A and B are shown apart, each in its own frame.
Chain A
Amino acid sequence: MPVSVLENMVSVGLFEKNKLREIEVISTEFGYCYIKTALNFGFLTRKKYVSFLEEEGFELVAVREEEMQESYIEQCDLLELNALLYVPLRKLEDGHLLVAAADPQDEKLKTLLTGRFQMPIQFVAASDLDITWLVHIKRGEYYVKEAVFSLMRKDPEQSGLVTFTDPQLIVIFGAVALFVSFLFINFVKTAMYANVLFSLAFFFIILFKLYLSLKGSMAEMNEMVNKEEVQALPENTLPVYTILLPVYKEDKLIRKLIWNLRSLDYPRGKLDIKLLIEEDDDKTLNAVRDLDFPANFETIVVPFHMPKTKPKACNYGLFFCKGEYLAIYDAEDIPDSDQLKKCVVLFRKLPDEFVVLQGALNYFNKNENILTRMFTLEYTYWFDYMLPGLMSLDIPIPLGGTSNHFKFDKLMELGGWDPFNVTEDADLGVRVFEKGFKVGVVNSTTLEEANNEPFNWIRQRSRWIKGYMQTTLVHMRNPARLIRRIGWRGFLGFNFFIAGTSITFLLYPVLLGFLLVYSIVKLTFVTALFPDWVLYIATFNLVAGNTLMIYVNMMSVFKRRYYELILFAALNPLYWIMHSIAAYRGLWQLIYKPFYWEKTNHGLTKVSSSANQAHVVEPEAAH
């Protein structure tokens, strides 16, 4: 007697028997019902499945609108509901318990539920996605609250719920008050020394970036993982790898996403991919439902809870993960096909203290317009040079938004992401160091979509810079403790790199303004205010700083042979003006809307990612 709908499909020739065996193995490993495995591991399309059920006489009910007696669902655990895809609805007049199930022919489930509820069960068929949506909404409250408040409860010092602590406010307002007082006492001297201090800070932060880039460029000489090592990796030793894909209203990207995931060179039975969708995001849910080819990910619906941020969704997703390792990607990402294997090799090679690996990010639409070109240059030097530079100097690495690979147990130990931080990744990178662990950089690239629209770019960047400010404030609550934990080098590196990045963008327009007023407009009051030597230093620092940044941008083209971009590096001073606008916007939001997540619109590019993928050049040691 068949025990699931899949076996029925096999018996009528709609499904291959060997696939069923594969499904059994995966289901046993993950603890899922067969239909969940079939629908989420790329064995079966939802359309085919629904039409088969209808042919078998099972009409799908709209379970989200069904009347429900909640006392039954309250007896069930969300993890089981999610794994076995059922939802108890209500007791019928004939004494049966009406249960909506994705597989109404699942006899094993029926036996289980009969025993649990001590009454006969009557199944109705419902969409697995609707069941998922319903069970998470009804039973996800505990988990979502954990996702939001767990870090704050376990380690309140590391939570960004409080943006400015009282001592920080005292220091900030004290410094402002002191500065204003000095201005009143001696306006000229105060302005003069402030100018020198700002311009020196600007220059030294850039000098540090150049140093980091040089250190990072040394990493090119030694590949962290080479192709031979990847090929030598025995498939049967590969662990389950979880991939989290937090999305919000990314319905247009779902098809691309599936193709990108399919290109990953990793056994599908070992891939635990979670698409994290917000409760109100029916657009994306329907896009998944309407797919006409098999999906290779599991959908998790994140119940509504403020703050509505990506880290909260990721934390929620953690409760459902099965992997030994975990990676985060965005919906539009195209990771190198061997990225997961490279990470497995590298995790096994590196000492145990390395608990996170960061992949390099780059863009598939780099040549779309000037902005995407500049963005590509920036990402290239950031991920190809600066992050390896930070790693070699043992300085906290702010993780990039995607392509982070974690050891799952260590991630849980760290407390996951801070849902109140809008650059939760950068914050987590620093926390990793604070807890005595390390972040490594893997030589594998993930291609993303570069923001090609200036206002969209400024929104995205303002969130990043605000997040850097938040991260600085969180970790600088107790500077002495931070020094104790990450050492002087880590402390200085953190301040130069993470705090320094926001500071340079805030200072840039001020210094540029002075230079323009003095050198071009030649306003006399500036020369009256500042002696020659102050202006000399300020001019030198600004011009030399800009030149060094152009140089760093230029360096970046070599590794990936993006030679055609080199002249665009000269536009970096203008690009930085956009950064400054974003920085001031971020500062304003930090004060008024610290947890507000500026959504970046994806899918604006007219460049096809698959077309570009063919042209991606694997960065290599030899040009």
Chain B
Amino acid sequence: MLLFNTDANTILTLGFTFPSLVFIAGLVFVPLGYLYAPVAASIVMMAALFYQLLEEFKKSAFSWKLYTPLIFLLFTLHPMFVFAAVTGRRNAIVTLVAYLIFRSLFRYYKQPVTYHLSLASIFITCFIFTNYEFIWLVLAFFPFIFLISLEGIKIHQDDSPLFQYFEALNNRSQRRKLANRTASIYLVLFLLPLMAVVIFRGLNTQFAGSSTYFLDSQYANWRITGNRIVRNLISSATRNNFIYQSQIVIQGFILFLTPIFVAALVLFRGKLYELFTILAMLFYYSLMLLDYKFTLTLSYYLLFIPIGLVTICYYGTSKYSIRTASWIFGVATILTIGMGFYFFMHSDNEEEYQFETEMNGILDNWKGPRVLSESEQVANYITSIVSDKNKILVDDASAYGIVVHKGDLNGLILPHQKSFVTIVENPTIAAKYMLVAKKDNVMHNQTVLNAYNLQQMIVTKNLRTLLMYQTPNWAIYQIE
């Protein structure tokens, strides 16, 4: 909306916003309405994933009578797939891109041509731009890249990789080849993602004065306000799975939730580097847990399901008979769907919890009167009071839900406008109202327009305000 409905600083708004693919994908669907664009995008992503999986399975030895209903059931019954498709959050694109990365790598292993490798690198770039923390995937990919390089130089192919390494390192020409090949694969896979980040940091330094502006500013990156750090999770935990998100057992929990991934490992027959590739995401989770700052939402466990599926597709048909493999595949899929329900029943994530509640009562809600959300109520109130002369000061980084529900930017004074800071310092010059985050609002500390600052302004600048409207988290004041 900021891009299409204003002409103030449009380029810089886009330029400094973290180019999250979720956001960019949503832009395509803007004609459907700002509120529905992200949902439409995520539905399309999941549909694309469904189609891609079916297309890939067509090439496998499994019967279409098996994989088509199984994949269909996964996409329609597994609550996390449904959640990813209908909430408009980034789970959908993360899952799709993760699948595409692994598919490209597996294709490269089967037919080592540059095309597959290049696509893998482009998808890794996309992956990072779905969630910045995925940049550390770079480290998780190390082990198998070393082994692929070894595969390429073709010495003592029948011996163990360790012996091959020993041989390669003790021969000058082979050593050089090994080093060059390792560096080449690594560079081609990671040049684009790393340079994309470097360029973005450089531009941020040059134009915003901070190389991490796109990561740290709530005006540039939705994750600042959208994600919860561990402390928040613990303090708000009312159920019982938060502990898995901060402990080393996360990998175990993921495996528990994704029997299909376990089945893929059981059915797997291939080379060591192929196994390491499949396990890369688990390595990645281990790496991420080394630093307490990073908290991946557990909902990303979803991406292990398509990875498991594509592994079964490529490596799951040679170890056992196709009949046995089909049984394992089928049972694992059913179990995975079951685990999806288990996860939702125990989820601590506020939105997942909300989703579960909504889904549980979907029939009643459908029949009963429509209940407006808090954001919608506030938005409706704002619409009723503002005009071009009576504007309201809003920080859309924290109150994005309200701004989206309002549907347009008429009568709003927003942070992307150059005058915003001046008006915050002295609201009386241009604003008639201001939207303030109340003390209990989780966004309280993410915005200058909060209850604390309002109090400070009242004291120091002798600001006179009148409370017009309030909900549990938000309050609208008139400035007199």
Measured CB to CB, the residues of A under 8 A from B are 213-214, 217-218, 220-221, 385, 519, 532-533, 535-537, 539-540, 543-544, 547, 550-551, 554-555, 557-559, 561, 563-564, 566-567, 621-623
- The answer to whether A221 and B192 touch across the interface, beta carbons within 8 angstroms, is no
- The answer to whether A554 and B113 touch across the interface, beta carbons within 8 angstroms, is no
Instruction: Other than A218-B113, A555-B114, A555-B188, give 6 A-B pairs with Cβ distance below 8 A.
Output: A217-B113, A543-B202, A544-B199, A563-B184, A566-B184, A622-B111
- The answer to whether A551 and B191 touch across the interface, beta carbons within 8 angstroms, is yes
Q: Which residues of A sit under 8 angstroms from B184, Cβ to Cβ?
A: 554, 557-558, 563, 566
Given A551-B192, A554-B188, A563-B184, decide whether A220 and B15 contact each other with a Cβ distance below 8 A: no
Q: Answer yes or no: B64 CB below 8 A from chain A CBs.
A: no
Q: How far is the CB of B175 from chain A (nearest CB, A)?
A: 12
Measured CB to CB, the residues of B under 8 A from A are 9, 11-12, 15, 111-115, 117-119, 121, 152, 176-177, 180-181, 183-184, 187-188, 191-192, 195-196, 199, 202-203, 206-207
- The answer to whether A550 and B177 touch across the interface, beta carbons within 8 angstroms, is no
- The answer to whether A540 and B199 touch across the interface, beta carbons within 8 angstroms, is yes
Nearest 10 A/B pairs, CB to CB: A563-B180, A217-B115, A533-B11, A220-B113, A558-B114, A623-B112, A217-B114, A563-B184, A547-B195, A566-B184
- The answer to whether B118 and A217 touch across the interface, beta carbons within 8 angstroms, is yes
- The answer to whether A558 and B188 touch across the interface, beta carbons within 8 angstroms, is yes
**How far, in angstroms, from A117 to B87 measured CA to CA in the complex?**
98
- The answer to whether B12 and A536 touch across the interface, beta carbons within 8 angstroms, is yes
- The answer to whether B206 and A519 touch across the interface, beta carbons within 8 angstroms, is yes
Q: Which residues of B sit under 8 angstroms from A550, Cβ to Cβ?
A: 191, 195
- The answer to whether A621 and B111 touch across the interface, beta carbons within 8 angstroms, is yes
20 A–B pairs (Cβ distance < 8 Å), ordered by A: A214-B115, A217-B118, A218-B113, A218-B115, A220-B114, A221-B113, A532-B207, A536-B11, A536-B12, A536-B15, A540-B15, A540-B203, A554-B184, A557-B184, A558-B113, A564-B176, A566-B180, A566-B188, A622-B111, A622-B112
Q: How far is the CB of B144 from chain A (nearest CB, A)?
A: 16
- The answer to whether A533 and B187 touch across the interface, beta carbons within 8 angstroms, is no
Q: Which residues of A sit under 8 angstroms from B152, Cβ to Cβ?
A: 561, 623
Q: Which of B11, B111, B176, B202 contacts A537 (CB 8 A)?
A: B11
Given A563-B183, A564-B176, A566-B187, decide whether A220 and B199 contact each other with a Cβ distance below 8 A: no
Q: How far is the CB of B123 from chain A (nearest CB, A)?
A: 12
Q: Which residues of B sit under 8 angstroms from A385, Cβ to Cβ?
A: 114
Q: How far is the CB of B185 from chain A (nearest CB, A)?
A: 8
Q: Closest residue to B152 on the A side, CB-wise?
A: A623
- The answer to whether A221 and B187 touch across the interface, beta carbons within 8 angstroms, is no
Q: Which residues of A sit under 8 angstroms from B121, Cβ to Cβ?
A: 551
Q: Which residues of A sit under 8 angstroms from B113, Cβ to Cβ?
A: 217-218, 220-221, 558-559, 621
Q: How far is the CB of A171 from chain B (nearest CB, A)?
A: 31
- The answer to whether B118 and A221 touch across the interface, beta carbons within 8 angstroms, is no
**How far, in angstroms, from A551 to B190 measured CA to CA in the complex?**
10
**How far, in angstroms, from A492 to B15 measured CA to CA in the complex?**
28
**How far, in angstroms, from A599 to B257 measured CA to CA in the complex?**
70
Q: Closest residue to B191 on the A side, CB-wise?
A: A551
- The answer to whether B188 and A221 touch across the interface, beta carbons within 8 angstroms, is no
Counting chain B CB atoms within 10 Å of each CB, the highest count among A533, A537, A559, A621 belongs to A533
Given A551-B191, A555-B188, decide whether A567 and B118 contact each other with a Cβ distance below 8 A: no
Q: Which of B12, B118, B195 contacts A532 (CB 8 A)?
A: B12
Q: Which of A540, A558, A621, A622 contacts B117 (CB 8 A)?
A: A558
Q: Which residues of B sit under 8 angstroms from A544, Cβ to Cβ?
A: 199
**How far, in angstroms, from A566 to B9 measured CA to CA in the complex?**
40
Q: Closest residue to A544 on the B side, CB-wise?
A: B199
Given A558-B188, A622-B111, decide whether A536 and B207 contact each other with a Cβ distance below 8 A: yes
